[in-house]
Amino acid sequence: MKVLVIGSGGREHALCWAISKSPNCDELYCAPGNAGIEKVAITIPIAVSDLSSILDFVKKNSINFVVVGPEGPLVDGLIDHLEDLGIPAFGPNARAAEYEGSKGLTKDLCDRYNIPTARYARFNEPNAAKDYIRVNGSPIVVKADGLAAGKGVFICYDDNQAYSAIDLIMTKSAFGEAGSEVVIEELLVGEEASFFVLVDGKTILPLVPAQDHKAAFDGDKGPNTGGMGAYCPAPLVTKEIADRVMNEIIIPTIRGAAADNRPFKGVLFAGLMITEEGPKLIEYNVRFGDPECQPIMMRLKSDALELLLACAEGRLDQYNIEWHKSAALCVVMAAEGYPGSYKKGTEIKGLDMASKENDVMVFHAGTAKKNMFIVSNGGRVLSVTALGKTIKEAKKRAYKAVNLIDWPDGYCRKDIGWRAIKD
């Protein structure tokens, strides 16, 4: 079978690596890919936003199955176009992808179907939004409604911060159209978890829950990033919590989405806050998390291609997902300066040595080849992921590999997994 993966991050490297192990994968392509993905797939220089070139490629090369990594092409309707061509594809169509594309849409779904989440209000006019802050006070959370690459969320501890966030989003249009509307929410207190389910239209199969570290610096301090590390399992998500998440959040969402004529297919990623009252939904993403996907793919024992194809073709009812018993942990290495401005094109050495470590995968994200060398080509650059009997052991292995990588222009957090490792 000929498979095409869309994307260029650590998540897509992990997906390509897992899919390439399947005996049914005859040819694997990735658009646009990166320098690491080149080792397991043929990379095609087509941007994820260039849907017409992707569709041309699919037709000309008789691709049998497409797996879409990032949210952009999902929200833009890539799955709808592929379905029109009769080509199986993994991911939701544009209408269902709007649950990530509009935070307000998801909040309204929660409201209609009694799904536990933070209290909220939606505004398309800044003065009304500020009046709401005046009445409700801080702390409060202000969010651009649309896609803002993880940068459109402001946790505001005083009212002035909240007014400034509204000005930045709505008056200064810092996120363009994504900020034409804001969602203002109650601040939830607790620990976060990432909960993933595969949905084929009828069957819902939970994957292993994970946790990521969004803040740039140790101790979960500093600006928010796309994610600086992740691990699974998530000890916080006990069997009891997982059952509550399924019954109170996931199942009502999937039913509600279908009733609202947005039936969901693909992977639904619930960002949760585990509060004293129980799990509450922060937001939905309609794709795998990055970096959560990397440890999840390393623990997956089942054939990844078969699983994702069964999901796309509505056959999950015949599926029992198998996992390695071990834990997995991923450390993200980012360019110095990320998530602010950073240099590209800096040389990275030691990758081969790090990759030779047992039970370690060095997944690439923002990397490129320059002459014979691997250089940085983005903010998050590598996802060093290891298996271990425990999270603690996986952490030790991951950092051993990180220390073999010689990249003076990069940095990583030193404490990934700290919430899960008690001693």
Please state, in angstroms and rounded to a whole number, the distance separating the CA atoms of residues 106 and 98.
Answer: 8
Q: Does 271 bind ligand AMP (CB under 6 A)?
A: yes
Nearer to ligand GLY, 169 or 365 (CB): 365
Looking at 29-37, 147-155, 196-204, 249-257, which segment touches ligand AMP (CB under 6 A)? 147-155
CB of 115 to ligand AMP, least distance (A): 14
Contact partner at residue 212 from ligand GLY, ligand AMP, none, CB < 5 to 8 Å by partner kind: ligand GLY
Strand partners, 335: 410
Query: In terms of CB distance, is 153 or 387 closer to ligand AMP?
Result: 153
Footprint on residues 74-113 left by ligand AMP (CB under 6 A)? none
Interaction mask 164-203, ligand AMP, x per CB under 6 A: ---------------------x-xx---x-----------
Q: Does 213 bind ligand AMP (CB under 6 A)?
A: no
Distance of CA 407 to the CA centre of its chain: 25
| Interacting residue with ligand AMP among 67, 282, 348, 412 (CB under 6 A) | 282
Residues 340-399 binding ligand AMP (CB under 6 A) are none
- The 10 Å CB-count burial string (b at 16+, else e) for 188-200 is bebebbbbbbbbb
Q: Is residue 283 part of the contact set for ligand AMP (CB under 6 A)?
A: yes
Residues that bind ligand GLY (CB under 6 A): 212, 226-227, 285, 289-290, 292
**Residue 390 parent element (H or E):** none
| Nearest distance, CB of residue 59 and ligand AMP, angstroms | 35
In the complex, minimum distance from the CB of residue 329 to ligand GLY, in angstroms, rounded to a whole number:
14
What string marks each residue from 116 to 135 as x (binds ligand AMP by CB under 6 A) or -?
--x-----------------
User: Among residues 96 and 375, whose Cβ is nearest to ligand GLY?
Assistant: 96
Which amino acid is located at 92 in the chain?
P
Q: List phi, psi (to 5°) of 365.
A: -120, -95
Say if CB 93 and CB 261 are below 8 A apart. no
What is the Cα–Cα distance from 236 to 239, expressed in whole angstroms? Answer: 9
Helix axis angle for 251-259 and 103-112, nearest 10°, is 100
How many whole angstroms separate alpha carbon 167 and alpha carbon 180?
Answer: 11
Cβ atoms of residues 167 and 173 within 8 Å: no
Where do the DSSP E strands lie in 191-256?
A: 191-199, 204-206, 211-212, 215-217, 221-224, 229-232
Torsion angle, alpha carbons of 242, 245, 248, 254, to 10: -120
- Smallest separation (angstroms) from ligand GLY to the CB of 74: 13
Instruction: Return the one option of ligand GLY, ligand AMP, none that residue 25 interacts with (CB less than 5 to 8 A, by type).
Output: none
CA dihedral 307, 313, 318, 323 (to 10 degrees): 10
Query: Which helix (H) or strand (E) covers residue 95, if one does?
Result: helix 94-101
Question: Which chain residues interact with ligand AMP by CB under 6 A?
Answer: 118, 141, 143, 150, 153, 155, 185, 187-188, 192, 214, 271, 282-283
